[in-house]
Every structure is written in structure tokens, then in C-alpha cells.
Chain A
Amino acid sequence: MFQKKIKKIPTKVFLTVIAFIYIIPLVIIFTNSFMSHGEITRNYGEEYDLFDYERRGQIHYAEYNLIPENITLEQYNILLFKTPAYLDLFLNSLKLTLPIVLLQVVIGSLAAFGFTVWKSRFKEILYCIYIIVMVLPYQATLVSNYIMADGLGILNTHLSIILPWGFSPFAVFIMRQSMKSVPYSVHEAAQIDGAGHFRRFLHIALPLSKTGIAALIVLSFTDAWGMVEHPMVFLKDSSMEPLSVTLYRIGQGNKGLIFAASVFYILPVIWIFLYGYEHLERGVNLSSLK
């Protein structure tokens, strides 16, 4: 027993080291968000302080301080109260992400139910088209989306991102996988009892695929929250961009704000992640169901 435990120690150490590498970026972002503007510029800047006579002109390597010299809320203060533009960008993210998630859940579960009960030889062909569209990278489908958005005249509006993303076949895929785990005999039994499709959808399929819905919400929220490609192509007006795109520019210019802005932007995702982790894990495993 004791020997077995000793044998496991190297494995544990190894795993802990890897986990440490995984978690360190988050820890640094979090703690550095309480640093003052000056301290960040000093830590990450390329040169020493002008007043540091001895080392002026030498190259200054980035320093990672886990604990700020003096803890301040300066960054948050600037971010939340002094520059309302950031809040607007954050709202843009919400305005884009929430409708996408809602559309995906509603349309995805409806279609997944249809694919479960519909019997036709065209079904698998149609589903195959869905899978192929799902696998295609954004860069290939963006062209199609752009042509349609241009045709509908919705370029440079949030709708041009919400609509194509909301109809994503990925939602149908996850929901169908989750409905597959319900034995079909349950549906047949309800059918014999005289329940129509709609009642079966509401009273059997939906309640039994709660996990699938939760997993879909976690996956689609986190994916949409980090969107980069779509806003870059569809939105010309930078005031309409979600914060996920603008953060990059904050990092290029005003380094002093980047950590607080990142923490501010990560919080909703972390909340959903911690809250829905079990569902997320099950959702990932759903994708491997045959």
C-alpha cells in the first residue's frame, strides 16, 4: 500500500507541474490587475526608468511579479468609471453573444428533435451536409455569410454576425447527440399513447436533454464570447465591436489597462465554466456518441 503511494509521487509531481503551467497565465493576469499603471509599464517595458541612472540604456527584461508592490484598484477605476467606452464594448459582447446562444438552443433543439423522429432516406444526406458545414473553418464560411449579409443589406450591424452564428449546425449536432442517448422506445410509447410530435418535443425530448442544452449553452457562449474573425470582417465601425477584438488593441497601446480589462472580460466565462463544468464535460463526451 505504502509502496504504491510512493510509486505515484513522480506522476503527481509531473501532473502538478503541467497544471501549474496551465494556471500561471490566469494567476498573473489576475494579480497584475491590481497593479498600478506605473508598475506595469516598469515591469513589462523595454527600457529602465529614465531616472535609473545606473542601468539607463540597458535592456530591461520583463518581470513577472505575482504580488503587486501596492495593491490598487486604479486599473478597474479607469476601466469602469473613467472610460465608459469599455463598458459599451462589453455590452456589445453581450448583445452579440446572448442572442446567438438563444437562437442556437431554440433552433438547434427543434432541428435535433426533427432529425430524431423524421424518417426518410434523405435524412442522413441532409445531416451529412450539416456535419460538413460544421467542420468548415470560419474563413471558408465567412465568404458565404458575407455574400448573404451584403445581399440582405445587414453588413455593419450586429445581425450580420448573430444570424449566421445562430443557425450554426454545431448546435444541431450537440443536441442530436444528446437526444440519441434517450432510447427511442420512450418516443414510441408516447406515440402509442397519442402524444403528437409537439407534445413529445416539449414533454419528453426537452426535459430529457437538459444536460445537452446546458452543455450547448456553455460551449456556444464561450465560443461566441471569444469571437475574433466575424467582427473583423462584418463590422467596419469599431464602436460596435465586442470587447474580445478591442482587447487586442488595448494590449498594443495602453498596457496598463490590459490586465484589468482581461479579468473583467474573463469573469462571465469563468462563472459559466465553474457553474456548468459538469455539463461541459458531459457535452464533450456527447460528441463521441455514435
Chain B
Amino acid sequence: MLLLNGTQMHRRFISTINNGRYDMMKKENRLALLFIVPSFFGVAMFFIIPFVMSLGYAATDARGNFVGLSNFAGLFGNESFRLATVNTVKFMVVAIPLNIIIPLFIACLLFHMIGNVWLKMIFMSPLVIPSACVAFFFQSLFMSNGLLSRILGENIDWLQTEYSFVIVVGVYIWKNMGFNLVLALAGLANIPKDYYEWAAVEGMGKWRMFYKITIVYLIPALFIMFVMSFINSFKIFREIYMLAGSYPNEKIYMLQHYMNNQFSRLNYQNLTTSAFVMTFVITAFMITFFIIDKRVEFGE
């Protein structure tokens, strides 16, 4: 038999108590799961389970025969799908960086202004206004007898030309800049002022300060600005649809138009296949993005 000394006794005593507490905590922990259950039930029911089910549609033809990947092959061979994909990617590549740079610039100007609440509110307001309410106004700017035609002296429905892309990017920035502006302003407020004072003592120039201090400390804010611009870039469909209808100029025919037109034909195979491709690409993109985000975070 082993004789226990004081420390060992103490340890054993603590561990019995901890075991009891551990059981209690385990029970508590299971109770905590109950809070997630209603939400998870809904997310599983309306997003996850039907998504898995939709894979079944994507792998079969209209009569239910298994066809493997031929739906996917058909999708990538589909000209309007390819056009929509190219347009959507093009839109994102142009609009998202602009939607980060412009608010950042305005935030730098606004930051030192006292009483900027009203300006902030004005810049935020398009975010909450239903797109249908301003659609007619925008149409009136770009229609064949609209303001732009008058300025340029040409009677063209600008939304039906290749310039529609520029218009849509402009509307996107008009609508979504406020969100990023608020994020950028909060990010700027988090940078300690001393850093700039020290840098000034060291004789650093203004531009050097901007990219050595401001940009570096804004990186977390920039990441979330990017994610939000990304999410909202898909919502531009509302505006395009309101401005130019279901079949707009081919420069602004987006993935969402393609999906919507499949819905009106109720083509399950095409719908599920393209939804799967979209989900897959976005998930892969987001996971890489979050990994980079973590890397940057730990790198500093």
C-alpha cells in the first residue's frame, strides 16, 4: 500500500472535486447546446439539408437517371452561364477595390472634422433605402431622354450600351460606400495618436506615415470591409434588375440573372448545378481568405 504524502493527498482531493465539477460542467455544457438547437434546426432545414438534396438533382437528368458530371459539363458549356460568370468576376474585380479605396479616402478627410455625424448619416442612407424607391430616379438619369443624354447630346438609352457596366459600378459604390466608411472611421479612431507624433518627431513624411502607420493598423478593418463588399456585391442584382429588367445589356448580365431566368423556367438540373458551383467556389474562396486573415493576424 502506498502512503500518500500531503501534496499527493491534496492533489487527489482536488481531482475528486474537479471530477464532480467536471460532471456538472459537462451537464451545463450540454444545456448550452440547447440554445443553438432552434437556430441550427432552421439552418439545417432550409440551407444544409436541401443543399445536400440538391446534389441529387445535380447528378441526375430530368427523368431521374444518374448522369454523373454531365450536368456540370453542360453548365460550363452553356454560353450564358459563362458570360454571367465572366461579368460577375469582372464586376467584383473592379467594384470591390473601388468600394474600399473611395471610403478610405473619404474617411481620412472626414476623420479630423468635428461634427461629421450628419455627413456620415447621409453617406449611410442609401444602404437602407429600398432599391425600388430610387430606381426610377436613376433610370431618369440614363434613359434616352435623360440627364446624361442631354449633357452628351446623344439620345441613347445608356443602360443598354456597354457603359452600363460603369453605371452599375457607380450605383454599387453609391449604395455600399457608407458601410465601409463607418468601418474605416472606427478603424482610424483605434490608431493611437502618439504613433503619428512619434513619427513626426522622427521626421517621417505624411505619405510615409500613411502607409507605414495608417494602412498597417487598418488591416483588420480592411479585411472586414472586403468581406462586406464581397457579400454586398451579389446584392447589386436588385439594382440591375430594377434599372434594366431580366435581360439587360450583355455587359451587366450577372450570375444572378442567369439563376433567376432558370427559376422562371424551373429547370431544377441547371439551378442546382449552378448553385452548387457558386457555393463551392465561394466556400473555397472564403476558407482561403480566412486562412490568410489568420496568418496576417499571427504574423504581426
CB within 8 Å of B: which residues of A? Answer: 8, 11-12, 14-15, 18-19, 21-23, 25-26, 28-29, 44-46, 59-62, 64, 107-108, 110-111, 113-115, 117-120, 126, 129-148, 151, 163-164, 166-167, 169, 172, 191, 196-197, 201, 218, 222, 225-226, 228-229, 232-233, 243-245, 247-248, 251, 255, 258-259, 262-263, 265-266, 269-270, 272-274, 277, 280-281, 284-285, 287-288, 290
Contacts and interface: CB of A to CB of B under 8 A. Distances in A.
A191 B28 CA distance: 10
Contact of A284 (B143, B183, B260, B263): B183
A12 to B, nearest CB: 8
A119 B29 CA distance: 6
Interface stretch (B69-77, B123-131, B160-168): B123-131
Given A46-B145, A139-B259, A144-B51, A265 B130 contact: yes
Given A196-B31, A258-B136, A142 B48 contact: no
B122 A25 contact: no
A8 B110 CA distance: 11
A172 B37 CA distance: 12
Contacts of A120: 29, 33
B186 A144 contact: no
A110 B29 contact: no
B272 to A, nearest CB: 6
Given A244-B130, A273-B121, 4 more contacts: A114-B35, A119-B32, A140-B279, A166-B42
Nearest to B180: A284
Contacts of B9: none
A29 B286 contact: no
By size class, the interface of chain B is 35 or more
A111 B15 CA distance: 33
B46 interface: yes
Contacts of A281: 120, 124, 182
A22 B126 contact: yes
A110 B145 contact: no
A288 B40 contact: no
A244 B143 CA distance: 22
Interface stretch (B93-101, B197-205, B230-238): B230-238
Nearest to B147: A62
B50 A110 contact: no
Interface of B: 28-29, 31-40, 42-43, 45-51, 53-54, 57, 106, 109-110, 113, 119-140, 143-147, 149-150, 155, 174, 179, 182-183, 186-187, 220-221, 224, 227-228, 230-231, 234-235, 237-238, 241-242, 255-256, 259-260, 263, 271-272, 275, 278-279, 282-283, 286, 297
Contacts of A45: 145
Nearest to A285: B186
A147 B54 contact: yes
B120 A167 contact: no
A26 B224 CA distance: 29
Among B33, B121, B129, B259, find the residue whose CB has the most chain A CB atoms closer than 10 A. Answer: B129
Given A148-B49, A265-B132, A288-B186, A137 B43 contact: no
A131 B241 CA distance: 27
Among A136, A151, A222, A290, find the residue whose CB has the most chain B CB atoms closer than 10 A. Answer: A136
Given A229-B238, A248-B242, A262 B136 contact: yes
A44 B141 CA distance: 10
Contacts of A191: 28
Nearest to B25: A119
A26 B28 contact: no
Contacts of B125: 22-23, 26, 273
B29 A26 contact: no
Among A61, A113, A255, find the residue whose CB has the most chain B CB atoms closer than 10 A. Answer: A61
A15 B106 contact: yes
B36 A118 contact: yes
A61 B147 contact: yes
Contacts of B220: 288, 290
A218 B244 CA distance: 29
A31 to B, nearest CB: 12
A115 B36 contact: yes
19 contacts: A19-B123, A22-B123, A22-B125, A28-B137, A61-B149, A64-B140, A132-B283, A137-B234, A139-B275, A140-B278, A144-B50, A146-B263, A148-B46, A225-B130, A229-B237, A247-B135, A251-B136, A273-B124, A288-B224
Which 7 residue pairs are nearest across A and B when measured between Cβ atoms? A167-B42, A114-B35, A137-B234, A111-B39, A226-B130, A114-B36, A247-B132
Contact of A137 (B28, B134, B228, B256): B256
A273 B155 contact: no
Contacts of A226: 129-132, 238
A247 B126 contact: no
A288 B226 CA distance: 11
Contacts of B237: 139, 228-229
A244 B132 contact: yes
A67 to B, nearest CB: 17
B128 A269 contact: yes
A200 B136 CA distance: 50
Contacts of B182: 281, 284-285
A277 B259 contact: no
Nearest to B263: A233
A21 B137 CA distance: 13
Contacts of B35: 110-111, 113-114, 117-118, 197, 201
